[in-house]
Amino acid sequence: MRTRAAARGGIGIAAVAALALLTSVLVGASPSPPWSSPAGDLAGPDTASDAVLDPTRTRPAETPTVDEAAPPPPPDPSAPDGPATDVAGGDPGPGPAADAPLCPGFSGLGRANPLDDVLAGQVVLNDRAPVDVRDGAGGIDWGLDPYGDATWRLWFSSLRWLGSAIRAEDPAGLRFAQDVVADWAERHEVAELTGQAAEAVRHRANVLICLRERTGPADGLDELLADHAEFLIEHYSGDWNHGLDDNLALYAVGCALEDDDLRDHARERTEVLAAAALHPDGGSNEQAPGYDLYVHRRFALLLDHVEHCGDEVSDDLRERVEAMPAFLAHATKPDGHLPNIGDSYATDRPDDVEGTPMAHAHHLGAQGTPPDARTAVFEVGYAFGRSSWGTGGQDFTDASWWALRFGPERLVHGHEDRTSLLWYARGRDLLVDSGHVGYQDTSYRAFLRGLRAHNVLTIEDEPFDSAPTELLVTDFRDGADVLAVRDPSYPRFPRERTVMIASSPDVVVVLDRAAGPEPRTMTQHWHLPAELTAHVTAPGRVEAEADDTTLVVEQVPWPGTSVPSDGTEVVVGREDPYQGWRSPRVHERVAAPTVEFRHTTDDLALVTVLAAVDPRAEVRTSLHADGDGHRLEVVAGDEALTADIDAEGRITRSD
């Protein structure tokens, strides 16, 4: 165990007079020449565990062994909470200077914690109320867990809340930050960390880098950074965003300390990670667009560090990173937000990355160049489409948009949402995901990640084993996009879904099929935004209204059959079992209508029409035999649509 230079009682948290003592710990009487961790996740783990990071895990596990957490997106370096800047030597100096190439800022936690509040011991984390973190004896109470919130504990241990103190022009702020870091170092051995303190290593290293770039090198601080680097080597998180943050932190420490071995180790791991986690066509293995945005930011930062430090990465890595903005552009809805698929929040927005399609999406079509096609399929498990990119006479914000999930079984930050359809038209969300509330291990979180929180078909009393979903058909044409998927996660009742998303009129047609050895109750779930008020108007028909739109959700019976009289329900805000909720952001839960259509059968073939029209506009549907197949006719206000459904279940617009 390393002996600390300062005694426990000698660290005065608020006392500027402690600088002389701190010098022996952090600044050093004789600064030795040369030794950040990027921000953590936009979201985080499935459980609240205090287990030690598993050093043997090199690929993403379905349930991480240590809590993850969800900070705000990394700040723009030009913003007030951007990178701290360099003041050479141990003297805090008059304030931030111009260059701190290895400090990426404090992930918004600097802005959330102004200097005066921090100096008074008041800390705000994870959108919670302020907490007095002082221990009453001149130090910090590092064992605090005021909310039973793993994310709060992570960001408290990360020290990112010191951002305003590290970049303060007032020397007292920087000295306070030095005091807190010294207090933390006095009471912790990095190699022995567990739980959230261990998970915070990559993030805390970032704060130490920012402090070093402000004060200059020092024996104690460099030793502490070296300890963090050793931990990151021995406890690698694997080929997902945590591993990327490990590598980014390790590389920054190696660059600061001029340690070639650390830099090489980080680059080699990152090459393996990129090949495993990033698809050449775009997207990552995170299964959440908010995390794809985060991963792109972290790779961009790593490439900046590599350039600054004079190293290289492979062309393959660069090409995979360069493919991500197109994915994120396609994922962006016409309102400029990413969908809260998986552990993403509805508030996530694409970045303004000049020269990429993401800039076009960020500026709502006013700047930049859009992707060449209005539809795209990404092998990581998404298909996206829209009526236009704001060209051809239609504004970007007036376009319709859709997303369909398929691909690998649930991993990392994914939910059980394969086969789920999201839909945006008439300037609003119409079919939504139930969302993401944060990382506390609760029954509500389990609901959000499960099947019934998504626009899918569920089968009661049947074993479910998460399995890859195959994309069978794509037929993209102006006015109607058709896709078909097959999912075997119910082994005895494989599900097949065919969808047609049309524009002019705004209509979606869905054919769900599932067959097995004995009757089961099968339920189709359609999650609507909270802004819609929904009610059952007839068996198999629901109407949902907002100020400017009516959404009709209707089962269309096959010729000679009828809709079950008791199989239609709108659920809003039910507690047991959970249904009819939406969580667009952390800690938020709002009641929202969920339409459920139930059938008890051993062979289901269910046609559903969703039509968005002006208020009080008429919606009529009919389905009749036509040759070897069937013809579906939909009247939606002043417009009409005709579609043919063949014997194999394929849907084609035919009007």
What number is the average pLDDT over the span 101-130?
Answer: 94
**How do the domains of the chain map onto residue ranges?**
8-322, 372-653
Q: What is the distance, to the nearest Å, from the Cα of residue 395 to the centroid of all Cα atoms in its chain?
A: 27
Please list the alpha-helical segments (H only) found in 43-135: 109-112, 115-119
pLDDT at 67 over 70: no
Q: What architecture does CATH give domain 8-322?
A: Alpha/alpha barrel (1.50)
pLDDT: which is higher, 7 or 598: 598
The DSSP output letter for 147 is T
191: left (phi over 0), alpha (psi -120 to 50) or beta: alpha
pLDDT at 611: 99
pLDDT at 132 over 50: yes
pLDDT at 99: 62
Burial class of residue 547, CB neighbours in 10 A (0-12, 13-18, 19+): exposed
pLDDT per position as a tens digit, 492-534: 999 999 999 999 999 999 999 999 999 999 999 999 999 999 9
pLDDT at 561 over 50: yes
pLDDT per position as a tens digit, 417-461: 999 999 999 999 999 999 999 998 999 999 999 999 999 999 999
The tokens for 360 are: 């076009």
Confidence label for 80 from pLDDT (cuts 50, 70 and 90): very low
Instruction: Tell me how far CA of residue 637 lies from CA of 237, 507, 619, 653, in angstroms.
Output: 54, 11, 6, 18
Q: How large a percentage of the chain has pLDDT more than 90?
A: 83
pLDDT at 19: 32
Residues 55, 236 contacting (CB under 8 angstroms): yes
Listed range (76-85, 128-137, 342-351) with the worst mean pLDDT: 76-85
Cα(509)–Cα(503) distance, integer angstroms: 12
pLDDT per position as a tens digit, 286-336: 999 999 999 999 999 999 999 999 999 999 999 999 999 999 999 999 999
pLDDT at 46: 28
Query: What is this structure's pTM?
Result: 0.85
pLDDT at 198: 96
Report the interhelical angle of 150-158 vs 201-215 (nearest 10°): 30
Residues 293, 328 contacting (CB under 8 angstroms): yes
pLDDT at 331: 99
Which residue, 150, 157, 173, is CA-closest to 51?
Answer: 150
Contacts of residue 448, defined as CB under 8 A and 6 or more positions apart, other chains included, come to 415, 434, 435, 436, 437, 583
Average pLDDT of the chain, as a whole number: 87
The tokens for 607 are: 């046609």
pLDDT per position as a tens digit, 344-393: 999 999 999 999 999 999 999 999 999 999 999 999 999 999 999 998 88
Cα(206)–Cα(212) distance, integer angstroms: 10
Contacts of residue 183, defined as CB under 8 A and 6 or more positions apart, other chains included, come to 11, 13, 139, 140
pLDDT per position as a tens digit, 623-634: 999 999 999 999
Confidence label for 88 from pLDDT (cuts 50, 70 and 90): very low
pLDDT at 71 over 80: no
pLDDT at 91 over 50: no
pLDDT per position as a tens digit, 40-59: 332 333 222 222 222 223 33
Instruction: Tell me how far CA of residue 239 lies from CA of 232, 264, 277, 284, 318, in angstroms.
Output: 14, 17, 6, 10, 17
Give DSSP secondary structure letters for 499-559. EEEETTTEEEEEEEEEEEEEEEEEEEEEE--TT-EEEEEETTEEEEE-SS-EEEEEEEPPT
pLDDT per position as a tens digit, 189-218: 999 999 999 999 999 999 999 999 999 999
Question: For the domain with range 372-653, which CATH number is right: 3.30.420.40, 2.70.98.70, 3.40.630.30, 3.40.50.720?
Answer: 2.70.98.70
pLDDT at 543: 99
pLDDT per position as a tens digit, 161-185: 999 999 999 999 999 999 999 999 9
